[in-house]
Chain A
Amino acid sequence: MSKNKQQADIRSHRLDKDQIARNFGDLHPPLSRSEALIAADRCYFCFDAPCTTACPTGIDIPGFIQKIRSDNIRGSAHTILGENIMGGMCARVCPTEVLCEDACVRNTHEEKPVEIGLLQRYATDPVFDQGTPLFSRAAATGKKVAVVGAGPAGLSCAHRLAMLGHDVVVLNRDDKPGGLNEYGIAAYKTVDDFAQKEVEYILSIGGIELRKGETLGKDFTLQDLRDSYDAVFIGIGLGSTNTLGLDHETLPGVDSAIEYIAEIRQSDDLGKLPVGRRVVVIGGGMTAIDIALQSKRLGAELVDIVYRRGPEQMGASRYEQDLAQTNGVTIHHWAKPVELLGDDHVTTIRFERTALDSNGRLTSHGDGFELTADTVFKAIGQILDVGVLGKDAAGLEIRHDRIVVNEAGRTTLPDVWAGGDCVAGGDDLTVTAVQQGKVAAIDIDRRLRGE
């Protein structure tokens, strides 16, 4: 370890208040009515619309756009939220450039798809602003379902179950509901406390009891729930951050991106947050982009992302990569960290060049480079804390540290369903979590009705 005694430069108030406010304002401001009408007019109302197929929740996109054209905004919102109760959040956070908008036939000749995300926001914003009731509950079934986790998966599942007439108890570890909508999504994607507004709306259907500070594996076990409820849905997301597997990983200044993002999201005065002058981010997903960009927007001078593979393999979409780069973030590909340097605080991180060998496996070259850093953020993914599932985990099939479910969300335990980031085979998107929660609710309902 080198004897580098350089002081870490980590400070708050790097930027003035107005600049911070501008940096953390709406990334994509909402459309005005006239903008929305013009955007809606660009929809061709395709047969068997490719955008609808591309949407994980299968929203009838041409259908809702048609309703925007005729000023039937409430009807439009119903079309959206009926398939995806978090259509408001999804309108803000979905990587539409790889989902619906990527499928838009307008791309063929114009490379400019219909602005589906923004139109979806236009149609749904009034519902959340005004609390317009769009859904009601079916006759009570007398069944009670426990939902663990109040993230997108859990809340979507709870809402659909409530609609179908079941009573739901949602047990959530965190104080605030919403999961990563509240603690993870980049601040400029969901301004004005939208995550909580959305949760309030979801709960307003009735029949859902939300209990906070209730942690599976600590305050109760899966077996407890199976004993006292007719069905259980697990939507606990992912827990701890992966480790780099390097020495000195506990060195001050080597931080979890997720934890810092949560701090940003919960801060009521962003200027107060201390941020390094030189920030290095390890990872290639949405989290890596988000921590890099938000550090930059808090005033970090030099922000580098280092990813061990190429741009195509990055979990973050091309659009997100471009966004980072146009905001002054440097992205290095094909390099992996090998050494953290610093005495009482990290000062430097050393990388080795990587490449794919003839078998497609990642290898490293030996040669490499160093980056000086006041902060190193680990954004290399999270894993499920299988431990919280307790001894019931024995009956649950787990693969690659995630719960295995079938296409209806059933686990290998007959009365337990799961969805969202904690299940195997997903793509770690809000919209997928919502879909999995919905699909599971429909299957739970069928099962409880004895169909």
Chain B
Amino acid sequence: MADLKTTFLGISSPNPFWLASAPPTDKAYNVNRAFEAGWGGAVWKTLGEDPPIVNVSGPRYSAIHSNERRVIGFNNIELITDRPLQTNLDEMRQIKQDWPDRALVASVMLPMNEPTWAKYLPMVEETGIDAFELNFGCPHGMSERGMGAAVGQVPEYIQMAAEWAKKAASVPVIVKLTPNVTNILPPAKAALDGGADAVSLINTINSIMRVDYDSLTMYPTTDGMGTHGGYCGEAVKPIALNMVAEIARTKETRSLPISGIGGISDWRDAVDFLALGASNVQVCTAAMVYGFKIIDDLVDGLNNFLDDKQLTLDELIGKAVPSVTDWQYLNLNYVEKAVIDQELCIQCGRCHVVCEDTSHQAITHTVNGERRFEVIDSECVGCNLCVSVCPVEGCISMHQLTEGIDPRTGETISPEKADWTTHRNNPMRKTK
């Protein structure tokens, strides 16, 4: 069995799976159950100033479902903890005592003035927590009060708050980033410049789920009115992965350790985050949808995967980062064509429909008077659309042309790499 024991910022935990700051980590009762189930760590539900905020007493959550009622995307308008600070602190102290081998991180959200940070952080740290996570991410409610995403969207504020936190804290400081920005790099850079030890991302994405088709109001509402919430769950993973990879591959930010968050529901999602540069991962929605028991598959699946690949966890971390680059560096001499395995083909013809209607008219529907779907190499641009829509896994695959002529362009296949930076159609091309 692979060793999943992780050290993140010097904080050790039996596995790289932490519960993200959210309802699953709202109080000792939950965190106890989570640790009993086997979770490696928990980022406590975000703490704020006393008196605590209040939540709405109507619907806080809503979901996008598949027809099997599988939750694909999840939305919430919940604020930070609504319990008195002291209650939280007492419980955190107890948890840390009872579970010394687990990571316990305190998430905090405070107004933008240094004395407040100087006052609260030592109080929180005194419970024995392993690190702070600064919540600059919540996109609803708290941001209207100048906190959460309102800070996370302004790099100068991030840097300033990170500096205050570093000054007031002796344990490591993680900055949790909001995805509600056009470019994740300036906020990450600001965290680094402010002295943060790591970043975690993503928090939730601004979202309205839908309207109610009867009342034609937005859905859900509190007494007829609604507000945008934060979107998370499976649907957001690709957005999170891109942001993680951007930070991991960019010179100015790649020294930052990353705690990856967003849509992780099974071990493969965790492999995605780890291979793209995260050193550990956090989970919220999947736990809220399936309960704490999913940790079994997360741990077991990752273990088996590492064994099969004969990799250590450390070797997996960042493994895929070198494969991420800018579009301009992609090899334009590389040619693939789709190939349909006629043995596996069930003749649904979806590949034909989509290629015909929306791509390159490169798939037949009839050959010699028979229903048959074949790729026309002289039209196929290798776009992968047919592979994406084919219902039979492995039926359509992309095959590289390594020699000869591409029947579509009439050009000879070249073993040389050549990208846009030197392409003849590029007016700004570099000359060798």
Contacts and interface: CB of A to CB of B under 8 A. Distances in A.
A369 interface: no
Contacts of A40: 67
Given A44-B391, A109-B392, A50 B347 contact: yes
A105 interface: yes
A45 B351 CA distance: 11
Interface string B332-375: 00000000000010111110110000000000010000010000
A46 B69 CA distance: 24
Given A44-B391, A47-B365, A48-B365, A105 B346 contact: yes
B349 A41 contact: no
Contacts of A109: 344, 346, 392
A108 interface: yes
Contacts of B350: 44-47
Taking each of A47, A48, A109, which has the highest tally of chain B beta carbons within 10 Å of its own beta carbon?
A47
Interface residues of A, number: 16
Nearest to A40: B67
A41 B391 contact: no
Contacts of B347: 46, 50, 105, 108
A47 B67 contact: no
B346 A41 contact: no
A106 B346 CA distance: 7
Interface in A178-225: none
Nearest to A33: B67
A40 B67 CA distance: 9
A349 to B, nearest CB: 47
B66 interface: yes
B359 to A, nearest CB: 14
A105 to B, nearest CB: 4
A429 interface: no
Interface in A14-63: 34, 37-38, 40-41, 44-48, 50
Contact of B66 (A41, A44, A45): A41
A105 B67 contact: no
A115 to B, nearest CB: 14
B68 interface: yes
B348 A47 contact: yes
Interface in B172-215: none
B119 to A, nearest CB: 53
Given A105-B348, A106-B346, A109-B346, A47 B353 contact: yes
Nearest to A34: B69
Given A48-B365, A105-B348, A37 B353 contact: no
Interface residues of B, number: 16
Nearest to A47: B349
Nearest to A46: B348
A74 interface: no
A137 interface: no
Given A47-B352, A47-B365, A109-B392, A37 B346 contact: no
A48 B356 CA distance: 13
Taking each of B66, B348, B349, B352, which has the highest tally of chain A beta carbons within 10 Å of its own beta carbon?
B348
B348 A44 contact: yes
Taking each of B346, B352, B365, which has the highest tally of chain A beta carbons within 10 Å of its own beta carbon?
B346
Nearest to A106: B346
A41 B67 contact: yes
A350 interface: no
A50 B348 CA distance: 8
A45 B389 CA distance: 11
A69 interface: yes
Nearest to A53: B371
B68 A41 contact: yes
A45 B357 CA distance: 14
Interface string A359-381: 00000000000000000000000
Contacts of A46: 347-350
A122 to B, nearest CB: 13
A384 B353 CA distance: 46
B70 to A, nearest CB: 10
Interface in A65-103: 69
B295 to A, nearest CB: 28
A37 B66 CA distance: 9
B338 to A, nearest CB: 16
A48 B348 CA distance: 8
B365 to A, nearest CB: 6
B66 to A, nearest CB: 7
Nearest to A36: B67
A164 to B, nearest CB: 33
A37 B67 contact: yes
A150 B68 CA distance: 42
Interface in B390-415: 391-392
Given A34-B69, A38-B68, A41-B68, A108 B346 contact: yes
Contacts of A44: 348, 350, 391
Contacts of B391: 44
A121 B348 CA distance: 24
A199 to B, nearest CB: 34
B250 to A, nearest CB: 41
A44 B67 CA distance: 14
Interface string B62-73: 000011110000
A69 B67 CA distance: 8
Nearest to A62: B348
Interface in A290-343: none
Contacts of B69: 34
Contacts of B352: 47
Taking each of B66, B68, B347, B392, which has the highest tally of chain A beta carbons within 10 Å of its own beta carbon?
B347
Nearest to A41: B67
A50 B349 CA distance: 10
A45 B67 CA distance: 16
Contacts of B68: 37-38, 41
Taking each of A41, A105, A106, which has the highest tally of chain B beta carbons within 10 Å of its own beta carbon?
A105
Contacts of A34: 69
A43 B392 CA distance: 13
Nearest to B352: A47
B28 to A, nearest CB: 37
Given A34-B69, A37-B67, A69-B67, A48 B349 contact: yes
Nearest to B67: A37
Contacts of B346: 105-106, 108-109
Contacts of B348: 44-47, 105
A32 to B, nearest CB: 12
Contacts of B365: 47-48
Nearest to A110: B346
Contacts of B353: 45, 47
Nearest to B392: A109
B36 to A, nearest CB: 33
Interface in B27-72: 66-69
A298 to B, nearest CB: 40
A109 B390 CA distance: 14
B390 to A, nearest CB: 9
A47 B391 CA distance: 13
Contacts of A47: 348-350, 352-353, 365
Interface in A102-119: 105-106, 108-109
A113 to B, nearest CB: 11
A45 B69 CA distance: 21
A106 B69 CA distance: 22
Given A40-B67, A44-B348, A105-B347, 12 more contacts: A38-B68, A41-B66, A41-B67, A41-B68, A47-B352, A47-B365, A48-B349, A50-B347, A106-B346, A108-B346, A109-B344, A109-B392
22 contacts: A37-B67, A41-B66, A41-B68, A44-B348, A44-B350, A45-B348, A46-B348, A46-B349, A46-B350, A47-B349, A47-B352, A47-B353, A48-B349, A48-B365, A50-B347, A69-B67, A105-B347, A106-B346, A108-B346, A108-B347, A109-B344, A109-B346
The 5 A-B residue pairs with the shortest CB-CB distance in the complex, in nearest-first order: A47-B349, A37-B67, A108-B346, A105-B346, A46-B348
